[in-house]
Structure 1
Amino acid sequence: MSDQARRVGLIVPSSNTTMETELPELFRRRGLTTGESFTWHSARARLSHVTAEELDRMVQASDVAAQSLADAPVEVIAYACLVAVMARGPGAHRDVQARLEGALEQSPRQPPVVTSAGALIDGLQAIGARRVAMITPYMRPLAELVADYVRAEEIEVADLVALEVSDNVEVGRIPSHVLVEQARRVCDRDDLDALVLSACVQMPSLEVVELVEGEVGIPVVTAATATARSILLALGLSPTVAGGGRMLAADVAATGAP
């Protein structure tokens, strides 16, 4: 490991098993072409079931998690729970980011903070996606909150899948073929700008992003790929990763259009 390895901090739900695998894999792929290396440092906040009450408690506990990561020291902190933020209402990613940055004011170091919720919005806007389909693992009421959150950012959600899995451990075990099948169904139309294949940091999707993108013919974005983009930008690096879908392609990073 190089002495110049970039340190990345993650705040993840205690039951999450996906972001600590998909994000390092994306950055490993990047390092194969750039020679860069990255280390990953996580703080966990309690969450076992994806309910509004548990999601709110997770956000409330995130201040201490951010402070502990800043001690590492890390160069950026990613709040890697999309629905915990979006369930708080439109625009909440800005409030949560400001809250976590405020929690670091008395810390010796104040790394920038990004959120998976804000990253998804930013990523969709960067590729000019105005009309999307979304696949989520959530119970229908939470899925609708996520869709409304995206709509509040002037992105139309034309189709919404709610797989209705409330146990967050089980979300991490959803087989990739389920996403492929749902993607084929919701993309059987010609009016979409992008597909959000996994609007959840826990639902695995990375291994099928490029497969699905090749089949549906539009950019495919996930919570993980969008978060990777925001982390790279916060580190002052180009948001490009081979094998991460069109949003992370070099030409898209340069022009902002797929």
Structure 2
Amino acid sequence: METEIPALLRSREAISPERFTFHSARMRMKHVTKEELSRMDGASDACAVELSDAAVDVMGYACLVAIMSMGKGYHRESQARLHQATVETGNPAPVVSSAGALVDGIKAIGAKRVAIVAPYMKPLTELVVDYIRAEGVDVVEWRALEISDNLAVAAHDPARLPGIVASMEHLAEVDAVVLSACVQMPSLPAVSIVEAQIGKPVLTAAISTTWAMLRALDLDTRVPGGGTLLSGAF
């Protein structure tokens, strides 16, 4: 969240007049386990209140798996609750989540069947897959990289991603690939490579969150290097 979304917004600044500042409040989490994710999510309301003091124009909840591990459809409840927290501070702001943004982004490009790469352990990845399926998207194939340490997730080399996608067995059956179902796992440098490699749209949690933020701000969604979803067509 703190690297790829600002990078995308800087890229947009090269072609559009708007300028952005980026503010963050952190919820604690060291290991990507269901228990730590649940504790982390419990701190989200306080973070929304803290960010309200900056009178930001839009807020994004970063952790996709934290939302998806809380139960199907939870992104709607979370976004409504966090928005209400901003209303109560006197600085109301729309709230998007990477979980909701990814689902909405997949649907926006017209994809019905996807393949997914996620850094999580297999049980958490299965929760993510089930959550996305419950939103009406068929997950045909998925890869769990089984990285539990959150800092190790951030250190994963995006240059590995084209090879991981190439090893998938059912790419011919999908409409799009989710290259990183996690805003923590870097993927931006590989997006255009994989799109060229497979000839299909590629999106990520960070790209989807940026797209959702721009839509919440009623701004053009064309961002160089942001793949199909940020081509400006959606």
TM-score of the two chains, using structure 1 as the length reference: 0.89
Match of 2:179 in 1: 197
Which runs of at least 4 in structure 1 moved beyond 4 Å after TM superposition? none
Q: Residues of 2 paired with 1:153 and 1:213: CA distance? A: 24
Following TM superposition, by how much is the alpha carbon of 1:177 offset from its aligned partner in structure 2, in angstroms? Answer: 2.3
Q: Residues of 2 paired with 1:135 and 1:63: CA distance? A: 29
Gap change, CA 1:187 and 1:23, over 3 Å in 2: farther
Following TM superposition, by how much is the alpha carbon of 1:35 offset from its aligned partner in structure 2, in angstroms? Answer: 2.3
Q: Residues of 2 paired with 1:202 and 1:187: CA distance? A: 26
User: 3-state DSSP class of the match of 1:33?
Assistant: coil
TM-score of the two chains, using structure 2 as the length reference: 0.97
1:165-204 alignment, distance < 5 Å: 165-186=147-168, 189-204=171-186
Q: Residues of 1 paired with 2:172 and 2:213: CA distance? A: 32
Match of 1:230 in 2: 212
Contact 1:133 1:160 in 2 (8 A): yes
Contact 1:209 1:245 in 2 (8 A): yes
Number of equivalences: 234
| Structure with the largest fraction of strand | 1
Q: Residues of 2 paired with 1:224 and 1:31: CA distance? A: 17
Following TM superposition, by how much is the alpha carbon of 1:187 offset from its aligned partner in structure 2, in angstroms? Answer: 6.3
Following TM superposition, by how much is the alpha carbon of 1:57 offset from its aligned partner in structure 2, in angstroms? Answer: 0.8
Is 1:29 aligned with 2:14?
no
Identity %: 51
| Cα shift readout 1:140-168 (whole Å, capped 9, x = no counterpart) | 00000000000001110111100000000
User: 3-state DSSP class of the match of 1:94?
Assistant: helix
Question: Which of the numbers 59, 84, 96 marks the counterpart of 1:77?
Answer: 59
Question: Tell me, which stretches of 5 or more residues in structure 2 are unaligned?
Answer: none
| Cα shift readout 1:35-75 (whole Å, capped 9, x = no counterpart) | 22100000000011001111111111011100110110100
Q: Residues of 2 paired with 1:55 and 1:141: CA distance? A: 13
The RMSD of aligned alpha carbons is 1.0
